[in-house]
Amino acid sequence: MSLTVLTSAYRLRSICRLQRIQGHMMSSQVEPGVLLEKVGSAGVITINRPKVLNALNLPMIRQIYPQLKKWENDNETDIVIIRGAGGKAFCAGGDIRAVTEAGKVGDPLAEDFFREEYILNNAIGTCRKPYIALIEGITMGGGVGLSVHGRFRVATEKTLFAMPETAIGLFPDVGGGHFLPRLQGKLGLFLALTGFRLKGRDVQRAGVATHFVESKKIPELEKELVDLKSPSAEDVSRVLDSYQSQSNLDSEKPFVLDKHMSDIDRLFSSSSVEGIVQNLKAEGSEFANKQAETLTRMSPTSLKITYKQLEAGAALSLQDVLVMEYRLSQACMRGCDFYEGVRAVLVDKDQNPKWKPSTLEEVSEQAVEQCFSSLGDKDLTL
């Protein structure tokens, strides 16, 4: 085949890819990806892409951010509530398929998505008005970023939380480097490296949610919140506390990781990911073996980046963490594991990624360090 034909074919593929990316970006205009309403004295954000589990894309971020800032400075708005439509998911994560497609062809979406998403995460974390996230259903990745930095996070028995990024060659971003190391003991590092899923009341017990309220009580809770007259954060807290005290579902069941917490603290207290894997293998219990096996499936580069991200993030402000994570996001866009992970898990779904490098030992300290390097004038500014 001639070079001209090959070049044309490649160009055509790139154009088709860009059209697909633009399609992802335009799709929100057909059925709005986000509904923004004022109900009583509350600003209510509804993530409205139930067919794709409310996956977050750039047009949605660009709608939410200015509205949140407006409500924060509006004397007529007392609280902000964020919720997901459809009942299955609050938000299952960012629309990263569109991001990897963009990264392959050098489209600026690969920078813009992460930058603007992290700016929104920071706005939620610094919001002066009580911010209440009703995290019913699947809440992962980007969905965690829309909720966990807010003052109040309400889980129900339908909540499913995870930060599964190491399985796709990424890292637990959206401020994961801030909230994860602040969970009890080594729980955050465990959740970050393994992508372990927490359900229902356990999301609150772990400290990811502030409250647990039974699903059937949520409509009534929402009504009571929007009807509050000039509420303070304490008023909101009192309402949430009262609904939590009426929610006894699963209260007798222990925390799913209860009997493993001391093991997690001990086995995940190592100065390296290799050390953690050695600890798990040497332990030999069913739980330890399962975690060791899980870690062998994750991107070795992602595991090492994540370990260092949480170690650094433990002592940093949310703003400094997001600046660090933006650098990491762009390092992942420059590398190959993120593309391969998305291919294996989300596109071809063969669940068989070929990581490069394929072992922890092959990921040099220098390669990890480089991911944390400043981007100069392209660094995130908050």
- Residues that are catalytic: 94, 142, 165, 173
In one-letter notation, the amino acid at residue 87 is G
Residue 346: CB partners within 8 Å, gap ≥ 6? 96, 97, 168
Write phi, then psi, for 44 (nearest 5 degrees): -115, 125
Dihedral over Cα of 142, 148, 149, 153: its sign: positive
The string of DSSP letters for 74-140 reads -TT--EEEEEESSSSEEE--B-HHHHHHHHHTT-THHHHHHHHHHHHHHHHHH-SS-EEEEE-SEEE
Q: What gap in Å lies between CA 309 and CA 303, rounded to an integer?
A: 10
Cα dist from 99 to 36, 315, 329, whole Å: 25, 30, 11
Residue in 301, 97, 90, 265 with CA at minimum distance from that of residue 183: 265
Dihedral over Cα of 342, 343, 347, 353: its sign: negative
Residue in 240, 245, 163, 154 with CA at minimum distance from that of residue 198: 163
Q: What gap in Å lies between CA 168 and CA 290, rounded to an integer?
A: 19
Element (H, E) at 34: strand 34-39
Write down the residue that tokens 């939410």 correspond to: 64
